[in-house]
Homo-oligomer: A and B are copies of this chain.
């Protein structure tokens, strides 16, 4: 195959393959490794304060001189009112007791102790570091921010999970739309409607292609030449891989998590709001079973903040029951290798692929 050129030109990379921004998994080393083999590395900034953003961008620059992108969470932050305060307190209490039952002693932060950063606070840090492409999820950028980025020549990549969301991104002038099929691991990027769309790649990507003109990146289930080329056939010019890199040397996952990922059954993969208050795809465990259908789920980002300490302690204790391990539906695509080798093998496989008849 010939790689489509529209995104390599726009993003100034050799291959239109995007290393997915996976907060908690992606490291500066992973981003740099992706960049160094000609792909678009993506550094997840999530809700890091500006100085942390700068620190991580600079750590990446030490490892590569090639361009890479950063990823923002552009969700709304629900206002704190008496009802939310009460729900927070009872959820905090429930999770502390649940942890104690499983011999994890922790004291979760009170609502007042939580520090929330909005993406607007991160913009100047990103521009100051000369980043030339910014992807985002959980919403759409506000118009002044879009203008600010554009004035600095930054290419914008928005995430959609429905045709409607794709149209909204294009109407706002977002340069590239990342179409996230329901196959994808990690958080859903959905931002329209109360019930999140659950449209799968084949239907979603082709229908978005029918409706908008912007170049498309596809994310969700890509782990080999077949899946990447299918996304191309469906209308994508760029291809994002996340789960494929979970077991890489550069992944921040711990050894016990990487070992678990080696033996996942397809039936263990679920969509859950338990950890963050937003739906994400990953491996079912005790925490999800205890929380998912309970009333102890706060809106994002409060649930996320509340479970942070639990996940951290659980990780230190190598306890699979209370960590969040995100993984997409292509569970058999998992491999242990370096980020560079995994991406180069994918590129080689795609370039030498001949469809079986």
Interface pair A182/B206, CB less than 8 Å apart: no
**Chain B proximity of A328: nearest CB distance (Å):** 7
By beta carbon, the residue of chain B nearest A193 is B267
Task: Select from chain B the residue with minimum beta-carbon distance to A200.
Answer: B200
Among A189-237, those with CB < 8 Å from B are: 193, 195, 197-204, 206-207, 209-211, 220-224, 226-227, 229-235, 237
Question: Is B227 within 8 A of A200, CB to CB?
Answer: no
A210-B332 in contact (CB<8A): yes
Q: Is the CB of A220 within 8 A of B197?
A: no
Contact A200 B197 (CB under 8 A): no
Q: What bracket does the count of chain A residues touching chain B fall in?
A: 35 or more
Contact among B5, B233, B237 for A230, CB-based, below 8 A? B233
Residues of B within 8 A of A206 (CB): 221, 223-224, 226-227, 230, 330
Most chain B Cβ neighbours within 10 Å, of A201, A209, A211, A224: A201
Q: Which of B2, B199, B204, B227 contacts A357 (CB 8 A)?
A: B2
Choice from B204, B211, B266, B267 contacting A329 with Cβ under 8 Å: B204
Q: A226-B234, A234-B227 are in contact. Are A183 and B203 (CB under 8 A)?
A: yes
The one of B162, B183, B202, B328 that contacts A220, using a Cβ cutoff of 8 Å: B202
A4 touches B (CB below 8 Å): yes
CA distance A300 to B234 in the complex (A): 36
CA distance A212 to B264 in the complex (A): 19
* Distance between Cα atoms of A182 and B115 in the complex (Å): 39
A181: chain B residues within 8 A (beta carbon): 200, 202
Output the nearest chain B residue to A235 by Cβ-Cβ distance: B226
- Which residues on the B side are within 8 Å of A199 (C-beta)? 183, 266, 329
Is A164 in the interface zone, CB < 8 Å from B?
Answer: yes
Contacts A4-B357, A197-B266, A266-B162 hold; do A329 and B232 have CB atoms under 8 A apart?
no
**A355 close to chain B: CB less than 8 A:** yes
Closest to A163 in B: B266
Residues on B with C-beta less than 8 A from A229 are: 233
A182-B182, A197-B266, A200-B182 as given contacts; A355 in contact with B162, CB under 8 Å: no
Q: Smallest CB–CB gap between A139 and chain B, Å?
A: 17
Contacts A2-B357, A237-B357 given; 16 further ones with Cβ under 8 A?
A: A4-B357, A162-B267, A181-B200, A181-B202, A183-B202, A197-B267, A201-B202, A202-B202, A202-B221, A203-B227, A203-B329, A204-B329, A206-B223, A226-B235, A232-B355, A235-B356
Task: Please list 30 pairs of residues, one from A and one from B, whose beta carbons are closer than 8 Å in the complex, sorted by A's number.
Answer: A2-B357, A4-B357, A162-B266, A163-B266, A164-B267, A181-B202, A183-B199, A193-B267, A199-B266, A199-B329, A200-B221, A200-B329, A201-B201, A201-B202, A202-B220, A202-B227, A203-B220, A203-B330, A203-B331, A204-B329, A206-B221, A206-B223, A206-B230, A207-B266, A207-B330, A207-B333, A211-B332, A226-B233, A226-B235, A235-B356
